[in-house]
Amino acid sequence: MMDITEIQEIIPHRFPFLLVDRVTEVTSNQNLIGYKNISISEQVFLGHFPGHPIYPGVLILEGLAQAGGILAFKSMDMTKEEAAQKVVYFMSIDNAKFRSPVKPGDKLEYRLSIIKNKGAIWLLDGKAYVDDKLVAQAELKAMVVDK
C-alpha cells in the first residue's frame, strides 16, 4: 500500500493534476490497484457540466497513466535517488473506451497490468472501475526517460 506522500515521491504530479489518491496493491512487474475519490469540490466540475457534473474521460485516462507510471517505477530496480532523475512519458493511448459516466461521490479504482516491457518501454492494460463496474479502459504505452 502507498499513501499520497509515497506516491508524490515517485511521480512529479501535484494538485490540481495529481489524480491518484492511494495505491492499495502493487506487485512488481505484474499489476497495480489504486484509486481516486471523485469530489464535487474539484475545479473541473465548475465547467463540466454545471448542474450535471461528469468527471471527464480524459482525466480518467490521465489517472490510469499516472497509476501506470507508478507501476513502471515500482517494477524497475532503482533507488529513490535514481527514480528522482527519471520521468514517464506516455507515447500512445490506444483502444480507449468509456463505458459509464463517473460522478462526484464515486471512488474511481484504477487497475493496471503489464502486457509487455522491453527496456524503458512499457505496454500496460488499464481499466477503471466504480463499484466493480467497468467505466473506462485503454492500452497505454509509456517510456521511462531521464529528466
What's the DSSP call for residue 2?
A: B
- Using only C-alpha atoms, what is the Rg of the chain? 15
Whether 52 is catalytic is: no
What are the beta bridge partners of residue 103?
Answer: none
Q: Which grid coordinates belong to 56? A: 471527464
Of 48, 74, 103, 141, catalytic: 48
CA–CA gap between residue 23 and residue 32 (Å, rounded): 7
Instruction: Using DSSP, state whether 8 is helix, strand or coil.
Output: helix
The catalytic residue positions are 48
